Chain A
Amino acid sequence: MSGPASIGVDAGSTTFKAVLVDREGRILASFLEPADPRLEEQAARALDALQAPPGTPVGATGYGRRRIHAARTLTEITCHARGAFSRTGEPGILVDVGGQDTKVVRVGPGGAVLDFSMNDKCAAGTGRFLEVILARLRIPKEEIARYAARSTRPVPVTSTCTVFAESEVVSLVARGEAVEDIVKGLHAALASRVASLVGQVPPGSRVFMSGGVALNPAMVEALSKELSVPVSVVPDPQLVGALGAALSALS
Chain B
Amino acid sequence: MILRKLQYKAISCLGPGLLSVASRIGKRPGRGSAQGAAHPFGPPLESGRKLREIMSLHYLSGRYADGAVPVAWVTSGFPVEPLRALGFHAVYPENHAAVCSVKRLVPELSAAVERLGYSRELCGYARADLGCAVTGTTPVGRLPRPDLLCCCTNICQTVLYWFRALADRFRVPLAVVDAPFVYGEAKAGHLEYFADQLRGLAETAGGIAGRATDRGALLETVRLSREGSLLWAECLAAGRAVPSPWTGFDAFFHMAPIVALRGTKECNGYYRMLRDELNDRISRGVGGIGNERFRLLWDNLPVWHRLRPLSAVLAENGFNIVCSTYAAAWAEAGAAIDPADPEGSMARAYLNVLLNRDLPYRLSFMKRLCAESGSTGAILHSDRSCKPYSIGQVDLQRRLVSEAGVRTLLLEADHADPRSWSEEQAGHRLAAFMESFE
Contact = CB atoms under 8 A, between A and B. Distances in A.
Interface of A: 63, 74-78, 112-118, 120-121
Interface in B412-438: 412, 422, 424-425, 428-429, 431-432, 435-436
B432 A121 contact: no
Given A63-B424, A120-B425, A121-B425, A113 B410 contact: no
A74 B429 contact: no
Given A63-B424, A115-B401, A78 B436 contact: yes
B436 A112 contact: yes
Contact of A75 (B408, B410, B422, B432): B432
Contacts of B408: 115
Contact of A78 (B401, B412, B429, B435): B435
A115 B410 CA distance: 10
Given A63-B424, A75-B428, A117 B410 contact: yes
B407 interface: yes
A113 B425 contact: no
B434 to A, nearest CB: 9
Contact of B431 (A75, A112, A120): A75
Nearest to B409: A116
Looking at B410, B424, B431, the one whose CB has the most chain A CB atoms below 10 A away is B431
Contacts of B428: 63, 75, 120
Given A75-B428, A121-B422, A115 B435 contact: no
B407 to A, nearest CB: 7
A114 B412 CA distance: 19
15 contacts: A75-B428, A76-B432, A77-B432, A77-B436, A78-B436, A112-B436, A113-B435, A114-B407, A115-B407, A118-B425, A118-B429, A120-B425, A120-B428, A121-B422, A121-B425
A77 B430 CA distance: 11
Contacts, number: 34
Contacts of A78: 432, 435-436
A63 to B, nearest CB: 7
- Classify the secondary structure of A's interface with B: mixed
Nearest to A74: B435
Q: Which 6 A-B pairs have the closest CB atoms?
A: A77-B432, A75-B432, A113-B436, A78-B435, A75-B431, A120-B425
A75 B407 contact: no
Contacts of A116: 432, 436
Contact of A121 (B401, B412, B431, B435): B412
Nearest to A106: B401
B74 to A, nearest CB: 36
Nearest to A78: B435
Contacts of B431: 75
Looking at B410, B422, B432, the one whose CB has the most chain A CB atoms below 10 A away is B432
Nearest to A77: B432
A199 B11 CA distance: 58
Contacts of B422: 121
Nearest to A105: B432
Contacts of A63: 424, 428
B27 to A, nearest CB: 36
Nearest to B397: A115
A244 to B, nearest CB: 11
A116 B410 CA distance: 9
Nearest to A248: B435
A77 B429 CA distance: 9
A121 B407 CA distance: 22
Contacts of A74: 435
A117 B428 CA distance: 12
Contacts of A112: 436
A127 B414 CA distance: 28
A114 B422 CA distance: 24
Contacts of A75: 428, 431-432, 435
A167 to B, nearest CB: 24
A179 B407 CA distance: 45
Nearest to A200: B398
Contacts of A121: 412, 422, 425
Contacts of A76: 432
A74 B429 CA distance: 11
Given A115-B401, A120-B425, A121-B422, A77 B435 contact: yes
A172 to B, nearest CB: 31
Contacts of B412: 121
Nearest to B420: A121
A74 B410 CA distance: 19
